[in-house]
Amino acid sequence: MEGAPSLLCHNSPSSYSSNPNHSLKSLPSSSPSFLLFPSKHSSIKTHQANSRIFSLNKERSMRRDSNLNLEVSPHRAVAAVRLLRVEQGGAFTDLLIEKGRNSATNEMDYVERTLGFRTRDLDDRDIRLVTDVVGSAIRWKRYLDHLIMSLCNEEKTFRDMEPLLLQILRIGFCEIIKLDMPAYAVVDENVRLAKVALRPGAGNLVNGILRKLVLLKGTNSLPLPKLEGDDRARARALAIIHSHPVWMVRRWIKFLGREEAVRLMNWNNSDPSFSIRVNTWKGYTRDDLVTQLNTLKVPHEISTYNDDFVRIQRGMQIVIQAGLLKEGLCSVQDESAGLVVSVLDPQPGETIIDCCAAPGGKTLFMGSRMRGQGKVLAIDINKGRLRILKETTKLHGLDGVVITCCADLRLFSEKNLIKSDKVLLDAPCSGLGVLSKRADLRWNRKLEDLEQLKLLQDELLDAASRLVKPGGVLVYSTCSIDPEENEERIKSFLLRHPEFVVDPVNGKIPPDFITEKGFYSSNPVKHSIDGSFAARLIRSLHHPVL
């Protein structure tokens, strides 16, 4: 198995990722600092070059300072630009932001290019505010837009509103209604942002609309739709009140019933909690992690589902900035993902293929449970994400266990005769189980996407099945709660592949997660973790392959 990946690592794979991550672009790094401090043996040319570099840096610094606006709220300027980039497809809503010199510089560069000025650098409080405002504004976008349109004198005013002005209003509405910030400060700061970033007339419009909002909130008379009319009308009203796409609301009412659908939307709109998994392979224990969290004064609770996990409601930024992830002490990973690994049940000495591995959380967990014995072949079609996984594998001390290979799984399985003990297909999916963490995902998904995803899931399942040896295990998993992506895909697969049978997951995960058919399923409302699904299948020792 170790030599096999080279057979297809040079494929020209077609993209099938349903959830690409867009990160901030890195700017060219500045000149190395040692050039600015030449030794006594440096040549005259070196001194002259350093003088030019010093002058350029000084000129660049002066230009930045001349463009600095200390009157505009930094977190609101950054939030407005971030929201614009998310809506235009240039960024994604990352609720876990690592504060660093490059990321802070990039953020302010985006502000300067978009708004025409810079603000002071973000401090820790500003970073938390940006995260809260951006996440909340995107989560509640449909609700906020309904209110903004209702408070405009004419609907046309809202429909023709320029994008930046709309983002500023969303920020103001969100801060007043959802984040309960002092109304006078919110109005004043957002009016100032609109005037400086756009023009005085834009500031006047923001002032008038926000003041209307403050009055309506004070009298508890916000203009919300009523739950009346036929099913379609009620679904549209619920979609506004709970800020979700109408198609999702109708689908959940169909599968879950109205009350459970509302509970699910309330969960999606709540502040997300995060879990971290201790890296036991490097010799750490959960007690070590708890000690670190106590030192950092980060509130936490022990997972009742998995011995390697700790749940954090607040303070994730503190954990990141303290360097616990960079040290390899732990990883950010939801407990639902850990339970999928438990369904696979990796054992030392086994050969395992992780078919859609990046970003690699499950890969790392599988590798750590193998105790240095055996191999995990991590296949992914995305070179960039796979490169990050390879670097993280070294950080966690698992580079002797995990092998990476960039390939299209469908081509790989056709051209390689590898047969593994266990195969995990964590398939591209709608992500409907992780909407509390991915605030932007609900607006990026369409009903038509599900049909395309189901076809892709079937193709990938067929491909993954070819890599399982007789008597071996195939696990299919998603981070979706939609039955058509989960149970229905397994039902369809078994009709095509009678050489596989369901292996109930009893004994591998807590009973509360096991369905009647022996599958794993987590419910966000019931279990307070991400929604996910996994089916464990075994390939017959004797059944002929069709």
Task: Just list the catalytic residues.
Answer: 479
Pairing of strands 520-522, 532-539: antiparallel
Beta strands 402-406; 375-380: pairing state: parallel
CB 543 within 8 Å of CB 498: yes
DSSP states of 144-204 as a string?
Answer: HHHHHHHHSSSHHHHHT--HHHHHHHHHHHHHHHTS---HHHHHHHHHHHHHHHT-HHHHH
b/e map 56-91, b = 16+ CB within 10 Å: eeeeeeeeeeeeebeebbbbbbbbbbbbbbbbeeeb
Q: Which of 328, 290, 295, 340 is nearest to 312 (CA)?
A: 290
- Residue 276: which H helix or E strand, with range? strand 274-278
Closest CA to 282 of 378, 374, 389, 367: 367
Structure tokens at 377: 């072949």
Please, are residues 361 and 387 in contact by the beta-carbon 8 Å criterion?
A: no
- Please indicate if the annotation marks 358 as binding a ligand: yes
Q: Integer distance in angstroms from the first to the last C-alpha of the chain?
A: 24
**432 Cβ contact partners less than 8 Å away, ≥ 6 residues apart:** 248, 445, 480, 481, 482, 531
Question: Which residues are CB-contacts of 422 (< 8 A; sequence separation ≥ 6)?
Answer: 344, 345, 346, 350, 351, 352, 353, 468, 472, 473, 474, 475
Q: Is 406 annotated as a binding residue?
A: no
3-state secondary structure 123-156: CHHHHHHHHHHHHHHHHCHHHHHHHHHHHCCCHH
| 307, 344 contact by CB (below 8 A) | no
124 annotated among ligand-binding-site residues:
no
Whether residue 359 is preceded by a cis peptide bond, meaning omega within 30 degrees of 0, is yes
Q: Is 360 annotated as a binding-site member?
A: yes
Q: What angle is formed at CA 344 by the lines to CA 339 and CA 347, rounded to 5 degrees? A: 115
CA torsion sign for 428, 431, 433, 436 is positive
- Residue 408 annotated as lining a ligand binding site: yes
Pairwise CA distance, residues 427 & 531, whole Å: 14
Please indicate if the annotation marks 503 as binding a ligand: no
CB atoms within 10 A of CB 2: 9
Dist CA 125 CA 123 (whole Å): 6
Helix/strand/coil for 69: coil
CB 482 within 8 A of CB 457: no
Annotated binding-site residue? 65? no
Q: How far is it, in rounded angstroms, from Cα 541 to Cα 491? A: 21
CA 256 remoteness from chain centre: 25
**What amino acid is encoded at 232 in this protein?**
R
- Please check if 367 is assigned to a binding site: no
* Residues of each annotated binding site for S-adenosyl-L-methionine: 356-362, 380, 408, 426
* Residues of each annotated binding site: 356-362, 380, 408, 426
